[in-house]
Amino acid sequence: MRPRPNAAVMLLIFAALSGCAGVSRETRVNVPVAVRPAPPAELTAPLPVEPLPVFVAPTDPAATSALTPEAERNLQQLLLELLTRLRAWAAWAQPETR
């Protein structure tokens, strides 16, 4: 025959378990957070240089800087486009003044 738990022990166990399932209190503090807008489409657009420059052997008779004249022009255009885009990104990334 098993001994029956004492009513006081049962009440103590029930009180302990019900205390663990108590109401949780959540405090919310609404603080404004700066959110940067999405960058303009022209900053994330693919670069308009096609075809990309292809390096050739320095011994190639058409090469002036290991590039053909057309590829050299494309490389210059690509570099100008990259510099322009870099400046635009830098301008866009500046914090707003109020």
> Is there a domain that residue 2 lies in?
no
Q: How far apart are CA 75 and CA 64, in angstroms?
A: 13
Q: How far apart are CA 10 and CA 2, in angstroms?
A: 16
| Domain membership of residue 55 as a residue range | 50-93
> Is there a domain that residue 12 lies in?
no
Q: How far apart are CA 43 and CA 64, in angstroms?
A: 32
The pTM is what? 0.47
Number of residues that make up the chain: 98
> Is there a domain that residue 80 lies in?
yes
Torsion region of 18: left, alpha or beta (phi above 0 gives left; psi -120 to 50 gives alpha): alpha
pLDDT tens profile 22-45? 566 788 888 888 888 888 888 888
pLDDT tens profile 59-68? 888 777 777 8
Overall number of domains in the chain: 1
> Is there a domain that residue 45 lies in?
no
> Is there a domain that residue 33 lies in?
no
> Is there a domain that residue 85 lies in?
yes
> Is there a domain that residue 73 lies in?
yes
